[in-house]
């Protein structure tokens, strides 16, 4: 048995090792390979942009966690019109984003029913649903909300659906047996209330930076790419990252496949964004104290760092507005997300204190592997160093990033539409119907960011 390196260890499988459910990467992977997600898609799919955003998000995030695959039964095979799938037939989109099309579903596997399919089959059936800016999942088709919704609502509904079934499949008692959702317009309100539906979507962000192009940065790009831009050529994205793609990134990063390993993240994201008609500018260096946008460059940023050091540098009037998302790193916390918006009453240097040194104790599986290597003739110091490196990488799941990406992009959309300002939003996917949102008491003077019209007014 050979343990994966830090560069190849599947980030979702790592949660099973750290929690003690698996004693090796191979065992963890076998558990994930036993999980299959089914999707039934109804005839409304071709007429419902939010359903298209949900379906593609489900497939793209689902196949990265359910290693047994995502099987999709289509009642119809329309040409899709939304974002990353525009111009593709539904069957083509399913295959492109990592799923497989099937003629029938099994009764012993869980199912997400999208766009009111005829007679969905599954051991557990949940229905993604949406209305305006709100998205979630319900237990019965009788509970479905209005189909008139923004595409980010479809993204978060799809991510929540995958999350609920994934947690259920790993034995959680409550997920999969409840109706849950989030309003991207008013995360402080119950998601199914009329005031949570929000305003018509008329304006979209046109010029912004994506700072960091890993799990979160690509999740931001995923939701941005779902927006109904009337003139995508007016969108300018500044892409900041210095890393190359490693094998482990395929578990969490939505624009990455195994074919991209070794390439620079900036180039992969730029190629994807330019395929939508966006204009991009690449900056291949770390974000540090020397990064200051010039006067003709975007003044808005979405930050997706996994360390506090660059996040502490987001202040100092570098940007007119910054939205920063952070995800939990451990096998329990990986379902958590916290968003900060600046300006706010709190400076980034205070919001993100230096991270204390991690405890050096290792879960039993890692200690067992050290002992095995030592028995095989390796030096204990070298074996322990290698296992510490593996143990130090974060646990992650693509559906968590997709939910955070929808929340972050929604902050910019709310700002463009005169909605409530929040300084902090936290969401735990164990209890997704209970997000916490703190009103921003010091958002700074309003200055309309560069924007461009939406293709058509939404709800």
Higher pLDDT, 457 or 223: 223
Residue 1, pLDDT score: 58
pLDDT band at 52 (very low <50, low <70, confident <90, very high): very high
What's the mean pLDDT when you consider all of the chain? 94
Q: What pLDDT, on the 0 to 100 scale, is given for residue 4?
A: 74
| CA separation for the pair 346, 20 (Å, rounded) | 38
- At 405 the pLDDT is 98
CA dihedral 341, 344, 350, 352 (to 10 degrees): -10
CATH number of the structural domain 20-196: 3.40.50
Tens digit of pLDDT for each residue in 68-114?
A: 999 999 999 999 999 999 999 999 999 999 999 999 999 999 999 99
Residue range 316-344, pLDDT digits in tens: 889 999 999 999 989 999 999 999 999 99
* Whether residue 459 has pLDDT greater than 50: no
Burial class (CB in 10 A: 0-12, 13-18, 19+), 326: buried
Catalytic residue among 79, 385, 442, 457: 385
Other Cβ atoms closer than 10 A to 102: 17
Sequence-distant (6+) residues with CB within 8 A of 41 are 51, 55, 72, 73, 74, 75, 90, 114, 115, 117
Give the pLDDT confidence of 378-394 residue by residue, as tens digits. Answer: 888 887 888 888 888 99
Task: Please report the pLDDT score of residue 447 as a whole number.
Answer: 67
pLDDT(457) > 70: no
Sheet holding 336-342, edge to edge: 279-283, 236-240, 207-211, 300-303, 321-327, 336-342, 422-428, 436-439
Cα-based distances in Å from 30 to 24, 65, 298, 326, 449: 10, 12, 45, 29, 48
Burial pattern 367-391, b for ≥16 Cβ within 10 A else e, equals: eebbeebeeeeeeeeebbebbeebb
Residue 40 has pLDDT above 80, yes or no: yes
* 348 vs 458, residue with greater confidence: 348
Contacts of 182 (CB under 8 A, 6+ apart): 134, 135, 136, 156, 160, 191, 403, 407, 427, 432, 433, 435
What is the percent of the chain with per-residue pLDDT over 70, rounded to a whole number? 97
The candidate with the shortest Cα–Cα distance to 320, out of 186, 404, 416, is 416
Categorize the per-residue pLDDT at 164 as very low, low, confident or very high, splitting at 50, 70 and 90. very high
Residue 213 confidence (pLDDT) above 90: yes
Between 143 and 366, the more confident residue is 143
* Higher-confidence position of 362 and 448: 362
Q: Please give the class, per CATH, of domain 203-356+394-453.
A: alpha beta
Same fold, 20-196 and 203-356+394-453: yes
> What residue ranges do the domains of the chain occupy?
20-196, 203-356+394-453
- In the predicted structure, residue 458 carries a pLDDT above the cut 50: no
Percent of the chain with pLDDT over 90: 85
- d(C-alpha 236, C-alpha 414), whole Å: 20
In the three-class reduction of DSSP (H, G, I as helix; E, B as strand; rest coil), residue 208 is classed as: strand
Mark out the alpha helices in 283-336 (DSSP H runs). Answer: 308-311
Which of the pair, 370 or 289, is modelled with greater confidence?
289
Q: Is 236 helix (H, G, I), strand (E, B) or coil?
A: strand
pLDDT beyond 70 at 358: no
Whether 385 is a known active-site residue: answer: yes
């Amino acid at each position: 048995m050979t343990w994966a390196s830090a560069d190849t260890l599947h980030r979702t499988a790592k949660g099973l090792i750290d929690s003690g459910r698996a004693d090796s990467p191979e065992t963890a992977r076998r558990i994930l390979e036993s999980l299959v997600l089914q999707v039934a898609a109804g005839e409304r799919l071709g007429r419902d942009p939010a359903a298209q955003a949900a379906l593609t998000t489900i497939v793209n995030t689902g196949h990265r966690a359910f290693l047994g695959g995502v099987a999709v039964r289509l009642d119809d095979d329309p040409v899709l019109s939304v974002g990353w799938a525009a111009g593709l037939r539904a069957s083509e989109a399913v295959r492109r984003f990592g799923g497989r099309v099937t003629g029938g579903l099994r009764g012993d596997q869980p199912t997400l029913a999208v766009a009111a399919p005829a007679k969905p089959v599954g051991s557990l059936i949940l229905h993604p649903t949406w209305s305006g800016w709100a998205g979630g999942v319900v237990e019965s088709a009788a509970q479905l909300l209005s189909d008139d919704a923004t595409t980010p609502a479809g993204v978060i509904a799809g991510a929540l659906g995958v999350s609920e079934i994934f947690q259920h499949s790993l034995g959680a008692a409550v997920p999969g047996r409840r109706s849950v959702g989030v309003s991207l317009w008013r995360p402080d309100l119950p998601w199914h209330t009329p005031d949570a539906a929000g305003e018509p979507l008329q304006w979209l962000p046109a010029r912004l930076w994506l700072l960091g192009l890993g799990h979160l940065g690509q999740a931001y790009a995923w939701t941005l790419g779902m927006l109904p831009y009337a003139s995508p050529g007016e969108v300018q994205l500044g892409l900041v990252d210095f890393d190359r793609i490693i094998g482990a990134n395929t578990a969490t990063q939505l624009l990455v496949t195994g074919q991209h390993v070794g390439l620079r993240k900036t180039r992969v994201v730029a190629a994807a964004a330019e395929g939508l008609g966006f204009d991009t500018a690449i900056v291949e260096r770390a974000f540090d104290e020397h990064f200051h946008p010039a006067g003709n460059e975007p003044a808005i940023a979405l930050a997706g760092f996994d360390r506090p050091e660059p996040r502490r540098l987001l202040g100092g009037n570098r940007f007119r507005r910054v939205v920063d998302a952070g995800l939990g790193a451990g096998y329990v916390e990986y379902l958590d997300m916290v968003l900060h918006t600046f300006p706010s009453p709190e400076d980034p240097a205070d919001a993100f204190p230096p991270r204390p040194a991690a405890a050096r104790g290792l879960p039993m599986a890692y200690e067992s592997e050290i002992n095995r290597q030592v028995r095989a003739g390796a030096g204990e110091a070298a074996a322990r160093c290698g296992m510490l490196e593996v143990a130090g990488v974060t646990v992650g799941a693509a559906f968590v990033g997709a939910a955070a990406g929808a929340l972050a992009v929604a902050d910019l959309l709310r700002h463009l539409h005169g909605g409530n300002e929040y300084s902090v939003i936290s969401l735990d996917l164990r209890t997704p119907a209970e997000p916490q949102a703190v009103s921003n008491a010091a958002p700074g003077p309003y200055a309309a960011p560069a924007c461009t019209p939406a293709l058509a007014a939404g709800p």
